[in-house]
Chains A and B, each alone.
Chain A
Amino acid sequence: MSSVEINGLIKKHDKLFTENLPQCRGIQVYNEKLLTINGKEYRSWNPYRSKLAAALHKGIKNIRIQPDTQILYLGAATGTTVSHLSDIVTNGMVYAVESSPISMSKLLKVSTQRTNIAPLLMDANHPQRYKSFVPIVDILYQDISQRNQAEIFIKNMDSYLKKDGQGILMMKARSIDVALQPKKAYEQVGEELKKQGITITDVVELSPYEKDHAVLMATW
């Protein structure tokens, strides 16, 4: 597992936990285990349910999330990963973009108590449409299994990621091209990003937690 130091994130028996927000005490988001240590409540972060937890287990390096970090999150779904980020960025904000109204209904429930989440029912293909809500961010996180995932990532980096910010892209080989070997598919995405002047700092496969998925870390 990675040696990253993230405030509010702890490791216990090789499992990850985030410190639950005080106002969310006792609330489970996806049936995760709750644990109390020294009066603080922690939520277990399941790497089989959250690709970011998987990436941390697989040792991605230098991920910089601090209490005041601003995160633009594309493909928030029902808020599994978003909720853990919300635990961590206690003074920051997670701008959670999701295009499916059905997922959004669950995401809204999850966000009710969490004032550091701004849920946005919007299409990540059109980053300009959330311009008035989303400032320049420290981290751009994307988990959208669409064919044009690289294009979406580039557009959003262009509009929102600050100069020394971090881009985190969850890639699904099958959505890139079903006929390609996963490794080749990841390379193809990497090439597309490089052409736009983006630097790739790390690519790590997420097996055994997710099959044919990899995380790509990028910066300007």
Chain B
Amino acid sequence: MMYLITTWFGSFLCDEQGIQKKILFPCEEKELLNRIQKIQNNEILSEEKKLIKNTTVTVQEKRLQHIGTWDSKNSFFIQIHMKPEDYGFSRELLHQLSMKLAKEKMDTQLQAEDLQIIQMADALDDLIQIANLLSERLERWLLIPTPEEKIQPVHHTLSTVKEEMNHLEQQIEKDMQHLAPNITMLVGSLIGARLISLSGGIERLAMFPASTVQILGAEKALFRFKKEGGKPPKHGVIFQHPLINRAPRDERGKIARMFAAKISIAAKADAFTKRLIADELRTNLEKRIHEMHEQKTKKKQ
């Protein structure tokens, strides 16, 4: 049996006796990075194709499944070890390559717009807390006779905080329209931004099942439920939406579930297909709620 193994410095054709054939890559940063990029993109290298000509091989990487038998658990692969130093490639070079690649990848990931949204949503929640604290302080202070100039600093700070909250909300609205138009249309930019923040990014939100979306932001309550039993939480931040918090108590759970299902679909559209489907979702949701009401009245009759 022959095995094909590719490392950052070359491709190797091996069997139980050891390495039978190999093609080393040019020992230059650019050339090596180029091949690593290809591997990361799931491509097959020309060196690999050349090596396996007329041979059937077993491979460990799924990437290579079209040119060999894919057997990731074959124990041969944890027995053979190619040392870069043996082929004139230094450890420092590997260090350099991985640093470069990690840096590039990090920069793209950190530029992702949803990271800005997350910071803004969190900053808004911070500001809300500060505003609440300051309002409470003022209220208490004003219970005793107080000259205006004494409370002036707190007053002033509070109005600045409120102003900045306004700015931030506007900015969130603007960015959310662009980044996640479907979610924004369906639940509004602020709840939408909080959902993105709680899940850690728009793609992650899109991957969550609707049941998770429904309770995002209620983790503490969920934790309590798992540990101590009682009632499971029905809704997280989406409860802030009037569709749920203005609904009659006995309907909230059900509406939250339907709402979360639609948000989940909206998130997938925003993250992946980029199609605008919020209108459809909204209509459909309203229809479902309407049906629920009809059933309820029927039952009463």
Contacts and interface: CB of A to CB of B under 8 A. Distances in A.
Interface of chain B: mostly helix, strand, loop or mixed:
helix
Interface stretch (A98-106, A145-153, A201-209): A98-106
In the complex, which range does the number of interface residues on chain B fall in? 35 or more
10 residue pairs, one from A and one from B, having the closest CB atoms: A118-B98, A101-B109, A121-B102, A115-B95, A101-B106, A136-B81, A119-B102, A121-B105, A179-B226, A115-B92
B62 interface: yes
Contact of A128 (B8, B63, B78, B83): B63
Interface of B: 6-8, 36, 39-40, 60-63, 72-73, 77-83, 91-92, 94-95, 98-99, 101-103, 105-106, 109-110, 223, 226-227
A120 B227 CA distance: 36
A219 to B, nearest CB: 12
Contacts, number: 86
Given A104-B106, A115-B91, A133 B80 contact: no
B223 A101 contact: no
B80 A108 contact: no
A5 interface: no
A163 interface: yes
B251 to A, nearest CB: 30
A55 B62 CA distance: 36
Contacts of B78: 136, 158-163
A93 B81 CA distance: 14
Contacts of B110: 101-102, 105
Given A132-B8, A133-B8, A135-B7, A121 B106 contact: yes
Given A128-B61, A128-B72, A178-B226, A163 B98 contact: no
B100 to A, nearest CB: 10
A116 B84 CA distance: 14
A142 interface: no
A131 interface: yes
